[in-house]
């Protein structure tokens, strides 16, 4: 279990690192958009090769399909709730959908790491690197948007520390659950992460990347996908 926690901390640390990079200096919109586009490509690769494909292989299509639906609906409803809270409070939700996406996909993604360790398969280096690489743009993009919206540096850092801790602890949760649950559980977890990711990508990450990076966003997204796919093959 200690090993699962250590790997969980390694994977989740890039969320806080991304926020620290945003706090350390002011990034231009074009740079942020480019980073988001690259990260979106890496996340699409993670959905295709590390979550949907692996979940289907180990548990079959039905648990993955159930997880996809639940994950997508969870992100959609949580985002709508954030928007309502923002309107009532007189503020916006700038940056919060990315933070929410990092939580809703990061927790099940890292639970998958714990499940792999508990099952004796070891750590998927491809999944570990994909999580680490794709977390950075989420942290940078969300923290930058939150700072521009007037949130204090302490609030921004505290938010991303909380998300990082929750994701790291999810690795232990996956490790423990794997001791008592069957392969169907892993498939649902994979599907949940994939569903939350896909809605976040379409609703938040890709539109923001295109708006800020301009015409190069598509090219950088494909580059991110290629890097993520290469890591999956190597893993």
d(CA 123, CA 66): 25
Give the CA distances from residue 102 to residues 108, 152, 175, 206, in Å, rounded to whole numbers and listed in that order: 10, 20, 20, 14
Check residue 222 and give its pLDDT. Answer: 96
Q: Which residues of 114-132 are buried (b: 16+ CB within 10 A; e: fewer)?
A: bbbbbeeeebbebbbbbbb
Q: Which residue in this structure is represented by tokens 């923002």?
A: 86
Share of the chain above pLDDT 90, in %: 21
Q: Which two tokens stand for residue 89?
A: 């409070």
Check residue 17 and give its pLDDT. Answer: 92
Check residue 27 and give its pLDDT. Answer: 81
Check residue 136 and give its pLDDT. Answer: 82
Q: Which residue in this structure is represented by tokens 């295109």?
A: 210
Return the domain boundaries, the chain.
2-234
Which of 230, 235, 228, 231 has the alpha carbon at shortest distance from 40? 228
d(CA 214, CA 33): 8
Higher pLDDT among residues 144 and 134, named by residue: 144
d(CA 104, CA 112): 13
Q: Which two tokens stand for residue 38?
A: 């690259």
Angle at 88 between CA 84 and CA 92, to 5 degrees: 70
Q: Which residue in this structure is represented by tokens 């993670």?
A: 46
Q: Are 110 and 131 in contact (CB under 8 A)?
A: yes
Check residue 6 and give its pLDDT. Answer: 86
Task: Quote the mean pLDDT of the chain.
Answer: 83
Evaluate if residue 91 carries a pLDDT over 60: no
d(CA 31, CA 33): 5
The answer to which of 49-63, 119-133, 191-205 has the lowest mean pLDDT is: 119-133
pLDDT band at 213 (very low <50, low <70, confident <90, very high): very high
Check residue 94 and give its pLDDT. Answer: 61
Which of 54, 72, 66 has the alpha carbon at shortest distance from 111? 54
Can you tell me the mean pLDDT for 4-14? 85
d(CA 200, CA 102): 9
Helices (H) then strands (E): counts for the chain: 10, 0
Check residue 92 and give its pLDDT. Answer: 55
Check residue 56 and give its pLDDT. Answer: 92
pLDDT for 13-45, tens place per residue?
Answer: 988 998 899 888 888 889 888 988 998 898 898
d(CA 112, CA 114): 5
Q: pTM of this prediction?
A: 0.80
Check residue 114 and give its pLDDT. Answer: 81
Which of 78, 80, 90, 105 has the alpha carbon at shortest distance from 15? 105
Check residue 235 and give its pLDDT. Answer: 61
pLDDT for 142-196, tens place per residue?
Answer: 888 888 878 888 988 998 899 899 988 988 888 888 777 776 888 888 898 889 8
Evaluate if residue 216 carries a pLDDT over 90: yes
d(CA 171, CA 3): 10
d(CA 152, CA 40): 27
Share of the chain above pLDDT 70, in %: 89
Can you tell me the mean pLDDT for 51-76? 90
């Amino acid at each position: 279990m200690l090993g699962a926690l250590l790997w969980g901390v390694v994977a989740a640390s890039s969320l806080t690192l991304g926020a620290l990079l945003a706090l350390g200096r002011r990034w231009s919109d074009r740079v942020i958009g480019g980073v988001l586009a690259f990260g979106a490509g890496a996340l699409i690769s993670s959905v295709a090769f590390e979550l949907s494909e692996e979940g289907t292989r180990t548990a079959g299509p039905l648990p993955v399909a159930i997880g996809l639906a639940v994950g997508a609906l969870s992100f959609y409803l949580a985002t709508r709730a954030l928007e309502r809270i923002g309107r009532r409070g007189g503020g916006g939700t700038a940056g919060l959908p990315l933070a929410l996406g990092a939580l809703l996909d990061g927790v099940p993604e890292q639970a998958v790491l714990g499940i792999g360790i508990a099952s004796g398969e070891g750590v998927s280096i491809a999944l570990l690197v994909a999580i680490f690489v794709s977390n950075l743009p989420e942290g940078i993009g969300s923290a930058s948007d939150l700072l521009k919206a007037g949130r204090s540096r302490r609030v921004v850092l505290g938010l991303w520390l909380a998300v990082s801790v929750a994701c790291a602890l999810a690795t232990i949760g996956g490790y423990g659950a794997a001791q008592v649950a069957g392969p169907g559980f892993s498939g649902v977890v994979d599907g949940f992460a994939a569903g939350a990711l896909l809605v976040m990508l379409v609703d938040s990450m890709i539109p923001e990347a295109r708006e800020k990076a301009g015409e190069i966003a598509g090219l950088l997204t494909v580059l991110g996908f290629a890097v993520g796919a290469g890591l999956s093959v190597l893993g």
